[in-house]
Structure formats: structure tokens, C-alpha cells
Chain A
């Protein structure tokens, strides 16, 4: 950036939350025509910084300059009116309204006291055209894919006059193609001179898209870097402040262990469900991690739901611990000592009104039954034990779960199932949307419990992660199980090729 002046910058921003420091003298410079990645673990202060910049919070110390002038935004609307648009992580759109209605919900232009529909539709088309999107704005939002919905959310927050666009985890619910579609739009906006802040947990995406990176750690700014001058490895080290090498070696060592002798715990033959999953066979062995790889919608979650009895299969035989039987409901599955950490931890996992303690003991309590109440003393003991085991960071086990960060919430759900001591645990995207540190901790836990003889089904979009943790990986494509890789043949290139339907020697050689 030659001698451009920053459009938005802040100097030594400090913010306390009830005495705890959340941001410590953070400097941040955003120039027009750049995509600025904001990186850090959960709790590093990314969201707090954004909220200070956009008027949600008032910083305790430090100044914010917008277009060269010192500003104090008293409310988010003030920041927005002056051209700082923010798109938050969750898409807050209404599925049953039209695209245009969503864009103008709550601020419909009026003419003579009535809503000016013509103007709404026209302006919506204009806004979406800015994002290279040509869709029917009068159609219901629900008719469009998540990616398009994400664009609509951006269009909603975008005004013609917007100079700064802040995107908080915009890709967390998008698949790869959709994410790239979004990237093109972001690049287009940048080339038109907009300044963009991009927050994401996907380091590859950040490196691919961003020009500049600011890394936060524990509320402090670690530094500002040019994206093309830093490697992913360096980035992780900077984010974590520690080295990963030790862990990676350990994993490699574990992967090479011999697993042909392991007993089959749960075996499925030609299971299928109409419109959900085509016939597949699967063997889950004790003390083994089986990975499921495939794109979103390839049948990964569908298999998990079938195995856990959430969806009933339309055909197939199952053998559990050598006895043929079927799992027809989650209740049934729990009785067979199964556990399931679902993909969407908020919607399907957490009980938001309960404490950490109650969330952790819940699965064990269900397993024991309604009448065999676990005493508070015991509950507390269990909760504390597992909080420590999965290293949940919280002041006490009596804290409400909804106050925890995403990574810690995910750990609560994992702790919940570990406390119930399952023999078979399904983890559906356990590391999505959580910070790198928590990610590695969860991966370590998976291996630890594998070594204790648990059978684990591990679903993940990150191939590196699957290769690192799994003994075997089954690859899915179009709701069909294509193949399995094991031992030496297990590598991310081969999995990738299979997912992408590239016929190569890799695929021929290792069909099981």
C-alpha cells in the first residue's frame, strides 16, 4: 500500500470485561483496497476488537480513527450509517421471506406511507449486482443455497456508500465451491476500493484470500504480516505461541500401529435409506478411528444418523458385539453404549439453560435412567474430572454453558459422552469453527480414547486432520461409499482424488 491512508485504524485499544482484560493495547490498521485477515484462537479478542470498532462496545482506552478523524461510535447503527458494514457469523435472515424483503427488512423505503415495492426490488437487484449475483429477488430466500444466502446477508449489510466491510466467519457454513464463489465477490469489492476485514478459522482460506494479516493472542496483537510472506506453519505457531512439531510426530507414530487384529464392535451390511444414503457396508473396530471423508452432502452425516438410530434404515443388517440387532432410536443407541457429538453443537448438542456440570453428566444420567439420580457431589466430581480431561476453560463447573466459547462448548459435548463411557463414539465435525489450540486438543483426545479401546467414527472436512488421526478412512461421494483407505495408502492426495472422482492408480489399488 503505497502512501495510502488507512480508512479505519485504532491505536492501543483496551477493553476490560468485569476486570478481565479482553483487549490489551491493540493497534489495527485497515487500508482501502485490501483484504485484512484477523486471526486468533477463540477468546483471543477478535470479536471484541470488531465490536469495539463497530460501536457495539465502547473501548476503555484507545482511539479509533475513521477516514482520518477520531470517532466514537455510540451504537452499531452509527458505525453502519457512516459506511462500516458488518456481517456476523450466524446468518440472520428469514427463510420464508423473499430475497428483496430480507435485504430491506426493517427499513423498507416508503412512499406515501406505503411500502415502495418497486424501489425495494430495484435496489436489491442493484446491490446483488455489486456482488455479481443475478437472481430473482422476489423468490423466497429458502429456494437458494447457503452460499447465495450468505451473499444476500452481505448485500443486506452493504450499502452503496459502504467503505468498510467486516465478515465474521462467512465461510463456516459453505462448502469449498461456495466459499470460492464468495471469495470472488470479496476480491471484486476489494478491487473497487473497499476495505475488507475477513475473520475465519480456515487458515488455508485466509492465506489464499487475504493481503494482510493481523494475529491476536490472548487479547494482544502478535503482529501484522503480509499474507504471501508467512507460511501456514508459522501462522499457527504465532497464533498458539507454541510449537506443534511434538504432536505431529506422536500422531505419525500412532498411525503406524497394527490394527488388523482388532475386534469388530459394530458391523453394518448393505444399509441404506431412500433419499439419504445408498447401500453401504461398514465395520467399526475396537480401538480404531474410522474416518469419513467426502464433501458436504456426500452422506457423512447421513451415515452417522443411521448408525445412531436417528434415521431408520430402509434396509440392511447390523451386528453389534457379535449379536445381530438393530439400533432404531438414539435411546436404543445410548443403551448400546454409543455416543454422538452432532455437527451443529448449538442446535443439536448443547442444552443452553443448564450449567456445564449438568450438560456433562446428562448422557451418563440418561444411560443410568431417570430414577438412578447421580448425587450433586458425584456430579460435580464427574464434571470436574472431565473438564480437566478435555481442558475446558471456565471459572467453575457451575457456569452456564451458553457463556462458553465455541471451542469450549464443543469440548463440553465431547466430555458429556466421554463421561458416559461409550464403547462407540461418533464425532461429526468436532473441530469445525473452533480455534487451532482446541482442535489439536480434541485430536489428541480422539487418539487417547482410541488407545483405551474405544471405537470412534470421525467425520471431518479437513483431510489433513483425518489422515493424522484415523486408522482407516472411508471416502464418500454422492451418498455412496466409494472406497476405504488404510495403513500406508492413507494420504490426503488419494482421498482428495477419490472425492474429486479422479480415476488413478490410487483408487484401483486399495479397494477393500
Chain B
């Protein structure tokens, strides 16, 4: 039983897996020292590890995005939610910084600095969910509102400044190590296990897929599609909030302009590369792989010393290549072009006969 399930899922992630291996092989031969790993102070370092470390925020956002995407929706506001969550955390640590006060005052407890931004992010996700599920606004428009407005809200919180801070316990979230692994990577694993449990050990996963795949049939079955959709946007918001905290803790500052910028696109690309169907089957493992591919492209380009202004173009080319490899239509076209060529010769022969 499990074998068959994993086989089915395995088939779906075969494309991205191949793409990932290709990128890795490229690095093996052409990027010296890419796979070198060092243990400094009991921590793992190296380009390869860096992919996972740097890619963690996108991975977390992409996990949330997977659920939204599978319900037949999309969330463009995740980048802005990241900025807001980071801004809220930084503001809590240094509330008077924007007024020019350098002193910290009493530091709020760590759990508050983490939970309150996550709560805010959850509320923002709920807002998206209400617009989509209850007011029936097209997801792309509904979340565009917060994508645009959200960055403005984040700037209002930081008063247009970059709030920098020192709060070692909180920074641990972004740059700390636990059991030799970066904390951000551990958070990815925790989220993955959590979501996998939520969706595959309860009926949530199959309900999400059926709501996305056939809303009418799901309604007739008695599935509460509004609640399912609401949950997916809410959860996606929380994921974005967590990613925002990681980024903010890592750079020790809340940058409302740049925190989470274009993350929505990376997350959506990860989900699609991973093989999740819009309104249908989703695969968390595939999404993770998609995010790893996106990040390994960036890391590869960086470690090969490509000029930063060229990175986006390179990234676009690789993403395009991966999606083409995955497209069943593309594969069919290639097969057909070979096959039809044969047929044509067939026909000329027949014409000769007639």
C-alpha cells in the first residue's frame, strides 16, 4: 500500500529530482569545493549546507503555498506578510527606535516576540481566506490587495526605517544551530512533519484536493469548502510569518522594503516545479524539492561568481528548463515529432504505391 502511494508520489517528483541532480552534478564538476563541508564549532558549514540554510524561508513559505495552490488558489501576499511579521517583531524589541531612542528598555519575552508576529500573520492570512472563501473574490486579486497594502503596513510599523536590534535568543531563530544543524533547517523539518501529519494523517489533504479539483462535487459531498479554503490561507499566512521571523532574526533587522521581496514568486515556482497541480494533487516533498532547486540555482550562481545583476536571468532560464522537463505536453511533443516524422515517410511511400 505505502509502496504504491510513494511510487505515485515518486513518479511526480521524478522531474524535479532529475533537475536537482543535474544542478548538483554540474557543481561537482565545475564548482570547486561546492560539496566541501566543514564542522566549525560543532556547526556544519559549506555551499551545499548553505542551500538548505538560505532556502529555509522559501521552503516554509512554499509549504503554505502548496496547500493554497492545491485548493485552486494562489497567495501573492506572502512576501508582504513576511515583512509585516518581521516588522512587528523588531518593533516589539525596540519600540522607541523609530522615535530616535537608542535604548532598548525591557526586552519582551521571547515567546511573545515569536507568537505575536505569527498571530498577526495568521490574521492577515485569515483576511485573505475570508476574501476568497466567503466573499468569492478571485484569489489573485484578493491577495494582491495585501501584497500591495502589506508592504505599506510594514513600512508604517517601522516608520520607513530599518529597525536593527540585538536579541541573541531571537537571533537564534535565524542564525543559530541545534544539533549541528541550522535552526532554520530544523524549522523546515518541523513544519514539513507537522503539515504532512495534518494533511495525510487526517482527511484534510484529500479534502483540500477534492475542493480544488471539483468544488461542486465537494459541495454535494458535504465538504465545507469554505472552511477548507479559509484554513489553507490562514496556514499560508502563518508560514509566511514564520519565514519573515527567520529572515528578520538572521539579518538582525526589519527591512520593510526588502524583507520577503519576490518570495511569493519563488514560493509559487517551488510549488509548480515540485509538481503540485493547481486545484488538485499536492506533494509536499515535491514542493520542498522545488524550493531546494530554486535555492541551489541561486547558490550555484553565487558561488561561481556570476555578477548579481545576471542572477535573475540565469534563474529564469533554469526555472524554464525545469518546468519544460516536467511538462507532459512537452514530452509528448518531442515523442510526437519523432513519431510523426516517421508517419510522413510512411505516407510518401503510400503515395508512390497509389
- Residue of B whose beta carbon sits closest to that of A345: B217
Chain A residues contacting B213 (CB-CB under 8 Å) are: 351-354
State whether the Cβ of A334 lies closer than 8 Å to any Cβ in chain B.
yes
Q: Which residues in B have their C-beta under 8 angstroms from that of A358? A: 206
Contact, CB under 8 Å: A70 / B353? yes
Complex-state Cα separation, A362 to B219, whole angstroms: 12
- Contacts of A396-438 to chain B: CB distance below 8 A: 396, 398
Interface residues on B, range: 35 or more
Taking the complex as formed, is B202 at the interface, i.e. its CB lies under 8 A from any CB of chain A?
A: yes
Per the bound structure, the CA–CA distance linking A42 and B329 in Å amounts to 27
- Bound: A333/B204 CA distance, A: 21
Determine whether the beta carbon of A351 is less than 8 Å from that of B220.
no
B4 touches A72 (CB 8 A): no
Complex formed: what's the CA distance from A368 to B350 in Å? 63
Q: Which of B201, B210, B219, B354 contacts A330 (CB 8 A)?
A: B219
B221 touches A350 (CB 8 A): no
Q: Please state if B354 and A70 are interface contacts (CB–CB under 8 Å).
A: yes
Q: Which residues of chain B have C-beta atoms less than 8 A from A114's C-beta? A: none
A58 within 8 A of B: yes
A380 & B1 in contact (Cβ 8 Å cutoff):
yes
Least CB distance from A373 to B in Å reads: 5
Decide if B347 touches A74 in the complex (CB within 8 Å).
yes
Residues of chain B within 8 A (CB-CB) of A340 are 220
Instruction: Determine whether the beta carbon of B340 is less than 8 Å from that of A353.
Output: no
Bound complex: CA A380 to CA B8 (Å):
15
Contact partner of A74 (CB less than 8 A), chosen from B8, B206, B344, is B344
Within the complex, the shortest CB–CB distance from B281 to chain A, in Å, comes to: 5
A61 to B223, CA, bound (A): 49
Contact in complex: A366, B201 (CB < 8 Å): no
Whether the Cβ atoms of A74 and B203 lie closer than 8 Å is no
* Interface pair B214/A350, CB less than 8 Å apart: yes
A332 to B207, CA, bound (A): 17
CB atoms of B210 and A72 under 8 A apart: no
B4, B203, B216: the one within 8 Å of A348 (CB) = B216
In the bound complex, do residue A351 and residue B8 qualify as a contact, i.e. CB atoms below 8 Å apart? no
Q: Are A370 and B203 in contact (CB under 8 A)?
A: yes
Asked if A320 is at the interface (CB within 8 A of a chain B CB), the reply is no
Q: Which residues of chain B from 192 to 245 have a CB within 8 Å of any chain A CB?
A: 201-204, 206-207, 209-210, 212-214, 216-224
Asked if B332 CB lies within 8 Å of chain A CBs, one says no
- For chain A, the count of residues having a C-beta within 8 Å of the partner chain is 45
Query: In the docked arrangement, what's the CA distance between A58 and B345, Å?
Result: 14
A401 to chain B, nearest CB (A): 10
Contact (Cβ within 8 A) B222 A370:
no
Max chain B Cβ within 10 angstroms of own Cβ: one of A340, A347, A366, A377: A366
Residue of A nearest to B347 (CB): A72
Decide: A331 near B224, CB < 8 A? Known: A352-B214, A353-B281: yes
- CB within 8 Å of B: which of A365-389? 365-374, 376-377, 380
B136 an interface residue at 8 Å Cβ cutoff? no
How far does the alpha carbon of A72 sit from the alpha carbon of B344 in the complex, in Å?
A: 9
A370 close to B202 (CB less than 8 A): yes
The smallest beta-carbon distance between A403 and chain B, in angstroms, is: 13
Scan residues 316-344 of chain A and give those whose CB is less than 8 A from a CB of chain B: 329-335, 340, 342
Answer whether A362 and B221 are a contact pair too, CB < 8 Å, given A348-B216, A352-B213, A370-B207: yes
Known A-B contacts A333-B222, A347-B216; A72 and B350 likewise in contact (beta carbons under 8 Å): yes
| B260 adjacent to chain A (CB < 8 Å) | no
Instruction: Give the Cβ gap from B214 to chain A, nearest Cβ, in Å.
Output: 5
Contact of A349 among B204, B206, B217, B354 (CB under 8 A): B217
Instruction: Let me know if B1 and A376 touch, CB within 8 A.
Output: yes
A456 contacts partner chain B, Cβ-Cβ < 8 Å = no
Type the 1/0 row for B18-43, where 1 means its CB is closer than 8 Å to any CB of A: 00000000000000000000000000
Q: Which residue of A lies closest to B206 (CB)?
A: A358
- B2 at interface (Cβ–Cβ under 8 A)? yes
Q: Which residues A105-120 have CB closer than 8 A to chain B?
A: none
Q: How far is the CB of A510 from chain B (nearest CB, A)?
A: 34
Q: Are A351 and B4 closer than 8 Å at their CB atoms?
A: no
In contact, B222 and A334 (Cβ under 8 angstroms): yes
A334-B214 contact, Cβ under 8 Å, with A70-B350, A70-B353, A353-B281:
no
On chain A, the residues within 8 Å of B281 by CB distance are 353-354
Q: A353-B213, A370-B207, A373-B201 are in contact. Are A330 and B221 (CB under 8 A)?
A: yes
6 more A-B residue pairs beyond the given contacts A72-B350, A354-B206, A362-B221, with a C-beta to C-beta distance below 8 A:
A74-B344, A330-B222, A355-B8, A362-B206, A363-B222, A373-B202
Q: Could you pull out 30 A-B pairs where Cβ atoms are within 8 angstroms?
A: A58-B343, A70-B353, A74-B340, A75-B340, A310-B219, A310-B220, A331-B224, A333-B222, A342-B220, A349-B217, A350-B217, A351-B214, A351-B217, A352-B213, A352-B214, A352-B280, A353-B212, A353-B213, A353-B279, A353-B280, A354-B206, A354-B213, A365-B203, A365-B206, A366-B221, A371-B203, A373-B201, A373-B203, A376-B1, A376-B5
> Which residues of A line the B interface, CB within 8 A?
58, 69-72, 74-75, 308, 310, 329-335, 340, 342, 347-355, 358, 362-363, 365-374, 376-377, 380, 396, 398
